[in-house]
């Protein structure tokens, strides 16, 4: 798969052009691009390529792995705002929480326990809107209690819809997440990736997590 390629030899002009095209596509979807933040997923971007992203105008990056997050920050902390966008393992909370402005993937009681000891500035709760057994996430029914028990500020929700080759198939899951956020007075919605970010934007995403579309 393309998104598992290690992106090397990136050029700032190309990434900048790709970023502008993303913003144009968000506008076509009916949203003001200023209201939808682009989080550049850097799981497959080597640390030495990150200055290229900064030069291209990328301000927000998201890493999936705690160890890589710390390593890349060690070289480039001040170039970006840093988010954690991978599966949140409770044993990694201690490393992640003080080093990001937002965790996108809070979904377990064990992580809640660790956040009491190692608070993060803010979190998004991952919701398993589709009820897929293979994916992590709080059920919509359990969401109110989970929010109430969270020891750090909950500012929004995140979801990953079922895999599909057709972006429109993701629309009902994005729409449902937006409904849940509105019900709980939460402002942030992290939803949409390279495959379906336009649909996510149309349904209210405030953050889209993009990889391949920025780099190829």
User: pLDDT grade, residue 81 (50/70/90)?
Assistant: very high
User: pLDDT grade, residue 61 (50/70/90)?
Assistant: very high
CATH number, domain of 17, equals 3.20.20.10
pLDDT value at position 4? 63
pLDDT value at position 20? 98
Give how far Cα 180 sits from Cα of 98, 109, 195, Å: 28, 20, 23
SS3 state of residue 106: strand
Averaged pLDDT, 106-110: 98
Number of domains, the chain? 1
pTM, whole model, 2 decimals? 0.95
Task: Report residue 207: phi and psi, to 5°.
Answer: -135, 130
Average pLDDT score, the chain: 96
Q: Which residues span the domain enclosing 120?
A: 2-215
Q: What percent of the chain has pLDDT over 70?
A: 98
């Amino acid at each position: 798969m393309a998104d598992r390629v290690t992106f090397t030899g990136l050029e700032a002009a190309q990434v900048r052009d790709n970023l502008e095209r993303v913003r144009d596509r968000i506008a076509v979807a009916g949203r003001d691009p200023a209201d939808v933040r682009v989080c550049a997923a850097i799981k497959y971007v080597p640390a030495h390529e990150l200055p290229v992203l900064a030069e291209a105008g990328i301000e927000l990056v998201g890493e999936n792995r705690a160890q890589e997050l710390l390593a890349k920050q060690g070289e480039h902390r001040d170039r970006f705002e840093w988010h954690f966008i991978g599966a949140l393992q409770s044993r990694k909370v201690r490393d992640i929480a003080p080093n990001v402005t937002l965790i996108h993937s809070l979904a377990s009681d064990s992580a809640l326990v660790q956040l009491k000891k190692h608070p993060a500035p803010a979190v998004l709760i991952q919701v398993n809107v589709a009820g897929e057994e293979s994916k992590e996430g709080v059920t919509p029914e359990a969401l109110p209690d989970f929010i109430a028990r969270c020891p750090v500020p909950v500012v929004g929700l995140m979801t990953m819809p079922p895999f599909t080759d057709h972006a429109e198939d993701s629309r009902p899951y994005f729409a449902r997440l937006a409904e849940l956020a509105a019900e709980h007075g939460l402002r942030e919605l992290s939803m949409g990736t390279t495959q379906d970010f336009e649909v996510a934007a149309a349904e209210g995403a405030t953050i889209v997590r993009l990889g391949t579309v920025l780099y190829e």
